[in-house]
Structure 1
Amino acid sequence: MGGAEVLDLARTAIWVTIKIAAPVMLAGLAVGFVVSLFQALTQIQEQTLAFIPKILSIFIVLMLTLPFMADSLNSFMVTLSEWIIRG
């Protein structure tokens, strides 16, 4: 396996990581922004107020996107094993 194949594999691995992490991170970001906006508008400065909505939203997004994540990882592993077999 040459340098170009290794770079292609690394690029594919990074892209799969971004695809898998993006929905969860975006959900946490969106809920955190909404809660922060709510806190700023109502002047409630409770630090623990943001945790429960973030945890619930991340859990829901994980449940909804878990099949997509598993399929992405599975296809990446198949591609990786094909590259290893080819040598």
Structure 2
Amino acid sequence: MDLIAISQSTVAIILLLGLPSLIVSMVIGLVISIFQAVTQISDASLSFVPKMIIVSIFIVISLPWIGDNIEEYTYNLWDIIITFGKTQ
């Protein structure tokens, strides 16, 4: 495994861990926007506060999954570092 493959796997793990929160944020934003359009309420905090609360709750709920993925990635990265150290 070379440096490019390590970089690609790093980007892949970042996307894998970040996309679920982003998708939840987008769905909540869409629901709130539809609610604001129907009720004609145009308050900026109505969009920001619920989204922040729901995304925070989602991140707390998904922390074990995020931790497991980061732990597995870190172990794989240390194995690669050890392998490179032995060949040099």
Fold similarity call, TM over 0.5: yes
Deviations 1:24-83 (A, max 9, x none): 111111101100111111111111101121011111111111001111111111111111
Could you tell me which runs of 5 or more consecutive residues in structure 1 were left unpaired when the two chains were aligned: none
Name the aligned partner's letter for residue 21 of structure 2.
V
Residue from 47, 63, 67 that aligns with 2:64? 67
Q: Which residue of 1 aligns with 2:53?
A: 56
Q: Which residue of 2 aligns with 1:29?
A: 26
1:9 aligned onto 2:2: no
CA distance in 1, matches of 2:66, 2:35: 32
Provide the aligned length of Structure 1 versus Structure 2: 84
Deviations 1:4-42 (A, max 9, x none): 611111111011001111111111111011001111111
Name the aligned partner's letter for residue 44 of structure 1.
I
What percent identity do the matched residue pairs reach?
25
Residue from 37, 40, 47 that aligns with 1:40? 37
CA distance in 1, matches of 2:19, 2:37: 26
CA distance in 1, matches of 2:62, 2:44: 29
Over the aligned positions, Cα root-mean-square deviation in angstroms equals: 1.1
CA distance in 2, matches of 1:77, 1:46: 43
TM-score by length of 2: 0.89
TM-score by length of 1: 0.90
